[in-house]
Chain A
């Protein structure tokens, strides 16, 4: 069986740069992700991890560099400073799902409607088909019984699992997680990480920004350490987390472990 590194990259970032408030937050970052790979991004706050993640689906359009999905530029006509084309963005976001730190479920809609809305509006699925898929996904994240509840009636961990189901509902090729457990206490965070672990084992391609180093170690195929907007270390979880080359990585890992 060929290893992941032999496969053609699903996602490729080429010199992605983002400047916010006159300061470069992401500095010419390049890496690629192959199908089925689980990549964890670690690093101190302000390292540019979240901004980099948001550059991938153009929630924050990069100021320089390109993003490729299956070798194709996701926004070929895009030039920094201009608005990306709506059609390109729509296509990109159908293929790249995102899970936010603060869940961002739609509070006025039921759990079920949260998961069906984009299926119907974006993919044009019928209500029946969308509902069937939503129920299937809610079962997968262990929340089939919450379908008719409102987000406010769910715990934070439950809300985040619904948010994962909502992102999965569009059958994305890759899922981005922006600190998915940072707003949760450890117990609720664990139930979210368990769902993410199941997704990883089922072959979902994922990029995860997190401080949960045990998740990085036990689930991901690869860990990237960022500091000051740049990648300073990129390797297997064992290498980066247990025998880091860079002193900044050693310092960061020690600080996180002491905190936990």
Chain B
């Protein structure tokens, strides 16, 4: 059954790098988005909330097409690979913003007050007191999102990125039975995502041992 595995492995690099880049984009852009979402000013809070809700309301594959066909006009030519990173990165940013927000909400109000009563400025209080405690809550959800993202990258094959799913689809058209090919693809995805879950649990346990409550 393993006859086509070597072809599918050729897609691993694209699957992995798109996952990592989209997760990175989302993790970074999610921070300002989450902070704006929590702002006291309605003018900052409202657009952040609106964009988070809009991004999450549309399926990732639709975003992918919008980015690929919409932004890739004659002016700015977008190839499939960057389109995939931008689209999945934007979706990740919206979800990561909500994950960060729930992490920040989980930090008890008294912790903010203790930091304030010590005269810590808002930035110091956030960096030294609030954020490290929020991380504890964020890690499991972020890992869940990353694993989901790894699997969601399969949609990038529809715009022509040669990831695992693209290769599997291609090879299957030249075989009498497609099932074996897709089973092999499935096993490849498992091999990639299980270590992520293990790593996530390890990181969570490690942070929990420090940020105990």
**Cα distance, A57 to B113, chains bound together (Å):** 11
Interface residues on B, range: 20 to 34
Contact B117 A57, beta carbon cutoff 8 Å: yes
Q: Which of B119, B132, B210, B211 contacts A94 (CB 8 A)?
A: B119
- B129 CB–A CB distance under 8 Å: yes
**Cα distance, A98 to B110, chains bound together (Å):** 12
**Cα distance, A150 to B133, chains bound together (Å):** 14
Tell me the B119-155 residues at the A interface (CB within 8 Å): 119-122, 124, 128-129, 132-133, 136
Contact B133 A100, beta carbon cutoff 8 Å: no
Contact A106 B114, beta carbon cutoff 8 Å: yes
Residue of A nearest to B213 (CB): A107
Report the minimum CB–CB distance from B44 to chain A (whole Å): 15
- 11 example contacts (A-B, Cβ-Cβ < 8 A) are as follows A93-B116, A94-B119, A100-B110, A104-B110, A106-B128, A108-B136, A108-B210, A117-B120, A121-B120, A150-B212, A167-B117
Residue of A nearest to B209 (CB): A150
Contact B117 A59, beta carbon cutoff 8 Å: yes
With A108-B133, A152-B212, A152-B213: A97-B117 Cβ-Cβ less than 8 Å: yes
- A86 CB–B CB distance under 8 Å: yes
- Across the interface, which residues of A come within 8 angstroms of B121, CB to CB? 86, 90, 121
- B118 CB–A CB distance under 8 Å: yes
Report the minimum CB–CB distance from B139 to chain A (whole Å): 13
- B111 CB–A CB distance under 8 Å: yes
- Across the interface, which residues of B come within 8 angstroms of A118, CB to CB? 118-120
- A133 CB–B CB distance under 8 Å: no
Hey, which bits of chain B sit against chain A, CB under 8 A?
A: 108, 110-111, 113-122, 124, 128-129, 132-133, 136, 210-213
**Cα distance, A86 to B115, chains bound together (Å):** 14
- A222 CB–B CB distance under 8 Å: no
- Across the interface, which residues of A come within 8 angstroms of B120, CB to CB? 117-118, 121-122
Residue of B nearest to A91 (CB): B119
- A32 CB–B CB distance under 8 Å: no
Contact B114 A107, beta carbon cutoff 8 Å: no
Residue of A nearest to B123 (CB): A121
Report the minimum CB–CB distance from B112 to chain A (whole Å): 9
Contact B128 A117, beta carbon cutoff 8 Å: yes
- Across the interface, which residues of A come within 8 angstroms of B118, CB to CB? 93, 117-118, 122, 166-167, 170
Contact A100 B113, beta carbon cutoff 8 Å: yes
- Across the interface, which residues of B come within 8 angstroms of A170, CB to CB? 118-119
- A102 CB–B CB distance under 8 Å: yes
Contact B117 A108, beta carbon cutoff 8 Å: no
Residue of B nearest to A95 (CB): B119
**Cα distance, A166 to B118, chains bound together (Å):** 8
